[in-house]
């Protein structure tokens, strides 16, 4: 069957299917939509993706994204003078940073690791940007909030970071773990309930 597909179409489907969570069928649906319905979108998206690599650079200070089209090497968050320089929130992924930004609860700066320790995926301590993080913490940071996810890899990374940052003298904290807001205790798993008990706080 696939022999009947024009080669340009086959290639677009193959590349679409390399996006996260996109299988062959979804990739084909994307390509068909562009060809049958919206060829202008194909051109616009093509240009935007070619532009993406050039226009968006990794912030040299925190690992988030900076707007190269405005000639910046540091991101809007690092450039914001109203942020608290004493608090540094370390996240695994840019998406996590954006989650904190949406919450509005984080007034400090960020540092994006872009990866977590993972023996299965072959990510060892040497693959983490430790030198940059240590230098960043030495620059007046008093508290490092390790906001890696509450998974095996996330916890291992948090423990490793805490140990490596001990000589810096900064306080290293971890996100609270417990039942989520609006969650149902009946359906919470045992580890989550155990942590929620462990981390219980006095009602003031």
Binding site for a second copy (CB under 8 A): 1, 3-9, 11-12, 15-16, 18-22, 26, 28-36, 38-39, 41-56, 58, 65-69, 75-77, 93-95, 98, 101-102, 114
Q: Which is nearer to a second copy, 97 or 158 (CB)?
A: 97
The DSSP symbol for 118 reads: B
Q: Tell me phi and psi for residue 83, to 5 degrees.
A: -75, 150
Q: Which is nearer to a second copy, 96 or 141 (CB)?
A: 96
Q: Which is nearer to a second copy, 102 or 201 (CB)?
A: 102
Distance CA 86, CA 138 (A): 10
- Residue 5: both structure tokens together: 């597909």
Residue 72, burial from CB neighbour count under 10 angstroms (0-12, 13-18, 19+): middle
DSSP 156-186: HHHHHHHHHHGGG--EEEE---SPPTT--GG
Q: Which is nearer to a second copy, 69 or 151 (CB)?
A: 69
Distance CA 89, CA 158 (A): 12
Q: Which is nearer to a second copy, 8 or 167 (CB)?
A: 8
Report the nearest approach of a second copy to the CB of residue 36 (Å).
Answer: 6
Distance CA 100, CA 104 (A): 6
């Amino acid at each position: 069957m696939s022999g009947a597909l024009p080669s340009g179409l086959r290639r677009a489907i193959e590349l679409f299917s390399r996006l996260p969570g996109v299988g062959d069928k979804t990739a084909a649906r994307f390509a068909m939509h562009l060809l049958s319905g919206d060829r202008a979108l194909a051109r616009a998206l093509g240009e935007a993706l070619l532009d993406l690599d050039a226009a968006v650079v990794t912030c040299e200070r925190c690992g988030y994204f900076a707007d190269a089209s405005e000639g910046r090497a540091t991101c809007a968050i690092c450039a914001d003078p109203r942020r608290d320089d004493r608090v540094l929130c370390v996240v695994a992924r840019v998406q996590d940073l954006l989650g904190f930004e949406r919450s509005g609860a984080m007034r400090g700066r960020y540092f994006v690791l872009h990866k977590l320790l993972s023996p299965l995926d072959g990510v060892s301590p040497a693959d983490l940007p430790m030198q940059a993080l240590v230098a960043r913490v030495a620059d007046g940071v008093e508290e490092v909030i390790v906001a890696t996810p509450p998974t095996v890899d996330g916890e291992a990374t948090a423990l490793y970071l805490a140990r490596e940052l001990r000589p810096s003298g900064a306080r290293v904290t971890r996100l609270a773990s417990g039942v989520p807001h609006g969650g149902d205790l009946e359906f919470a798993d045992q580890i989550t309930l155990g942590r929620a008990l462990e981390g219980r706080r006095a009602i003031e």
